[in-house]
Structure 1
Amino acid sequence: MPPITPPDPRAVMMRHVDGPDAVLRHGDHPDHVVDVHLPTPRLGVRTRAPLAVLLHGGFWRAEHDRRHTRPLAVALREQGYAVATPEYRRTGADGGWPGTFDDVARIRSRLPGLLDDALPGLVAPRRPIVVGHSAGGHLALWWALTGRREDAAHAVALAPVADLARAYAENLGDGAVRDLMGGGPARHPDRYAAADTAVLLRRWAGRRPVVVHGDADEQVPVAHSRGLVGIDLVELPATDHFAIIDPLSPAWPHVLRAIGGRSAPCV
């Protein structure tokens, strides 16, 4: 397989694309918003678009928000998905334990009703595909592993920080897990038992999540995903942390295949 990293993989972070078709609120905090991108209706087809929930990364920190994943959201919209990109509280903006997790749980619970009320008949909001990148990959796994079976049809984690204890020990993101969890697993074993998806996967009996990870990732080394149990790992050669969310990268067909095929199914 040829290398699949574009010349400037970080370019996706600054690329301008269309904004959302709707912005919904899931709570009272300024960060309690959800961007929604809707696909173009198919001529003569009256079906509701299947839902993909896209959780952004950035080591759970406030300086990184959902906007850098808009190119990926637009690309999924073009494949026929309705794409909901929630914001959540991050460290430095009232997030961290437990607020970040409270927000994801609230989004998981409230999003179907919000979409039904705001966009009636346009979106099939139940049993979404949940996709996340980096820290958002951890949250996508947490969404699926701690929710009900009907809360997620499928989970896809792109270069996730899935093993919190290991990420803490290796000081990934200059203390990102310490900031998220308020310390390490020795200090907060109950928190890690509830939030560390590497632990949760060991007792998961549902559909195996798919993890897509590049072997040239310097932000979250692929060894973190190789060590997970209970997943289907798609390892991409010569692919870094940002190419994996770039629809213009040759990595995109592999990501799309992991999410569910060449285009969204009709509902």
Structure 2
Amino acid sequence: MVSRVISAFAAEEERRVLSLKPVLAPVHGRYGDHPHQVYDAWPAADPGAPLVILLHGGYWRYDRMHLTPFAAYLARQGLDVLLPGFRRSGGAGGYPQTFDDVARIVDTLTGGRPYILAGHCSGGHLALWCAARGLLPPGSRWHTRALPTGVLALAPITDLDATRRDDLSDGAALQLLGGDEDLFEERMRAVDPLTLLRGAGTTGVPTVLLHGAVDEEVPLTQFADYAAVHDDLRTVVLPGTGHYTLIEPEAPGARAVADTLWEMSAAFGARRPDSTTAKGGRP
């Protein structure tokens, strides 16, 4: 087991961001009958604004509330933001339910619109996995040709095997895949972004990996190893930035995320408002 020791800088960053007060969304909805199959939405004032589906982190265990301040921040930048919940490890989720829910989210909640799928930490893992669903065998329950228009992975977990090896968050990867060491390798082949991409070289989905240069939560080797097998990946590294300031409203890292989302959205015709403080979230 690897003992996790973080600096005072990282500890303060984590405390500061995760202690932010949750923000109530103006719109709520459901995509299934389970209590976790819900979503919050911050609709943009501009009906032509790009849609961003935001997948939360928390090592597949925790709920989405810590990401509501960031979702509201992105809405203020003029984006149409949807923040879904899903069944999680340690309860009703894990393998296969978490993946069933995320697949259902992106297959049913977009209304046929182009969209950017963004995710932070373990949410980044799920976003990268969605981009790779076309690489799954056609007989897989999650195979699809209807892929995201673009993916922005924020400090993502990319390698479940390394996550298990490094014992990140007290066995989170093993718990996600059911807690059985004998089943881990088999299940990982269907849900691990690095494994799916190896040999293929690309998912065919425009993908950006954005992370802080001083991230102490997810080992930097995860980002480098994924970039080594993704031939057309764009990587953005923010100097002096840790893991959590990427989702801290108004922080330089969060502004870089908003800028990147607008840059990616320009590929399908979206135009950013002149003001960077455009209000999102109509009642």
TM range (shorter): 0.7 to 0.9
SS at structure 2 position matched to 1:49: coil
Which residue of 2 is the match for residue 48 of structure 1? Answer: 48
Secondary structure of the 2:34 match is coil
What letter corresponds to residue 155 of structure 1 in structure 2? V
Q: Secondary structure at the match of 1:200?
A: helix
Distance 1:37 1:190, change over 3 A: same
Contact kept in structure 1, 2:87 and 2:101, CA below 8 Å: yes
Q: Which residue of 1 aligns with 2:126?
A: 139
State the Cα deviation string for residues 131-181 of structure 1 (Å, max 9, x = none).
000000001111222155543111011111111111111111110001001
Q: 1:253 to 1:6 in 2, by over 3 A?
A: farther
CA distance in 2, matches of 1:260, 1:185: 42
Pick the aligned partner of 1:170 from 166, 169, 173: 166
Q: How much does 1:258 deviate?
A: 2.6
Cross-structure match for 1:254: 256
- Label 1:234 to 1:65 Cα distance change in 2 as closer, same or farther (>3 A): same
**CA shift in 2, pair 1:8/1:170, >3 Å:** closer
State how far apart, in whole Å, the 2-side matches of 1:235 and 1:87 are. 28
TM-score by length of 2: 0.79
Q: Contact 2:124–2:155 (CA<8 Å) still a contact in 1?
A: yes
Q: Using a 3 Å threshold, how does the CA distance of structure 1 residues 149 and 235 change in structure 2: closer, same or farther?
A: farther
Moved more, 164-173 or 140-149: 140-149
Structure 1 range deviating more: 240-249 or 180-189:
180-189
Q: Which amino acid aligns with 1:51?
A: L
* Pairwise CA distance, 1:246: 1.2
The match for 1:36 is 41
Once residues 6 and 169 of structure 1 are traced to their aligned partners in structure 2, the CA distance between those partners, rounded to angstroms, is 22
Residue aligned with 1:60, SS: coil
CA distance in 2, matches of 1:154, 1:7: 32
Ranges in structure 2 where 5+ consecutive residues have no aligned partner: 1-8, 135-143, 273-283
Provide, for residues 209-253 of structure 1, a one-character-per-residue CA deviation record: whole Å limited to 9, x for no partner. Answer: 111111222211122101112122212222211111113222223
Letter in 2 for 1:89: R
Q: Which amino acid aligns with 2:37?
A: H
Matched residues in 2 for 1:223 and 1:141: separation? 16
Structure 1 residues 54 and 206, CA, compared in 2 at 3 Å: closer, same or farther? Answer: same
Q: How does 1:83-98 map to 2 (within 5 A)?
A: 83-98=81-96
Greater CA drift, 183-192 or 130-139: 183-192
Q: Secondary structure at the match of 2:28?
A: strand
Match of 1:225 among 218, 223, 226: 223
Secondary structure at the aligned position of 1:28 is classed as: coil
Residue 54 of structure 2 aligns with an amino acid whose one-letter code is L
Determine whether 1:127 maps to 2:114: yes
Aligned to 2:141: none
Instruction: Measure, in 2, the Cα distance between the counterparts of 1:169 and 1:126.
Output: 39
Residue identity over aligned pairs, in percent, reads 40
